[in-house]
Amino acid sequence: MQIRDANVGDIDGIVAIYNDAVLNTTAIWNEIAVDAANRQAWLAERQRVGYPVIVAVDDDQTVLGYASFGDWRAFDGYRHTVEHSVYVNKNCRGAGTGKALMVALIERARSLGKHVMVAGIEAGNDISIQLHRKLGFEQVGLLKEVGTKFGRWLDLAFLQLTIDPRTEPDAKKAE
């Protein structure tokens, strides 16, 4: 398995993983599948703002999983915090793909000077919560019945990881 930056050649694999999560899981709280143009626009926007989209691929360059992060909230005071997503092909779960993507994503956030990484995970997704805990994330909140999918209310667990030792943030520079 190789972890690398995603490119447009990976879009079909990303779409397949995304749509499987939409249609069959509570990992994504969207209910409508997307097309390649949607994910290509998403990839282009992430790249435009300097945020990574990484993929795990096999020797044939088949996408096994993907991960990314973006701004946690759109206010200047949150500029050192990102929220991430990681999704793995249903046939590759439990094989270390998610962990490898997370480790690489945490490094990317650190290299961009981010301080905290936030995970919003459906509270019943024990596998994802356990993976995050093994990587040092701690659960810091639980929002009850804030989402719905498949005809039921969903709770959202928030976990966070402090990824650098700074005790003071960098000052925002006036533009």
What's the CATH number where 138 sits?
3.40.630.30
What pLDDT sits at residue 168? Answer: 84
Question: In whole angstroms, what separates CA 139 from the centre of its chain?
Answer: 16
Q: Confidence band (pLDDT; 50, 70, 90) for 169?
A: confident
**Residue 174 maps to a domain:** no
Cβ atoms of 52 and 110 within 8 Å: the answer is no
What pLDDT sits at residue 94? Answer: 85
Count of alpha carbons within 13 Å of 24, Cβ hemisphere only? 9
- Per residue in 71-106, is it b (16+ CB within 10 Å) or e — as a string? ebeeeeeebbbbbbbbbbbeebeeeebbbbbbebbb
% pLDDT > 90, the chain: 91
3-class SS of residue 102: helix
What pLDDT sits at residue 107? Answer: 97
**Residue 126 maps to a domain:** yes
Cβ atoms of 56 and 101 within 8 Å: the answer is yes
**Residue 7 maps to a domain:** yes
Mean pLDDT, residues 71-88 taken together: 95
**Residue 171 maps to a domain:** no
Q: What global pTM score does this model have?
A: 0.93
What pLDDT sits at residue 85? Answer: 96
**Residue 173 maps to a domain:** no
Q: What is the pLDDT of residues 82-117, one digit of tens each?
A: 999 999 999 998 899 999 999 999 999 999 999 999
Least confident of 120-124, 134-138, 166-170: 166-170
**Residue 168 maps to a domain:** no
What does R_g of the chain's alpha carbons equal in angstroms?
Answer: 16
What whole-number distance in Å separates Cα of residue 146 and Cα of residue 143? 6
Cβ atoms of 2 and 18 within 8 Å: the answer is no
Q: Does position 80 have pLDDT exceeding 70, yes or no?
A: yes
What pLDDT sits at residue 44? Answer: 97
Which residues constitute the domain of residue 149? 2-162
**Residue 175 maps to a domain:** no
What pLDDT sits at residue 112? Answer: 94
Number of neighbours of residue 7 by Cβ within 10 angstroms: 12
Encoding tokens for residue 64? 């096994």
Mean pLDDT, residues 68-73 taken together: 96
Domain count, the chain: 1
Q: What is the largest CA-CA distance in the chain?
A: 48
Cβ atoms of 156 and 121 within 8 Å: the answer is yes
**Residue 132 maps to a domain:** yes
Cβ atoms of 160 and 78 within 8 Å: the answer is no
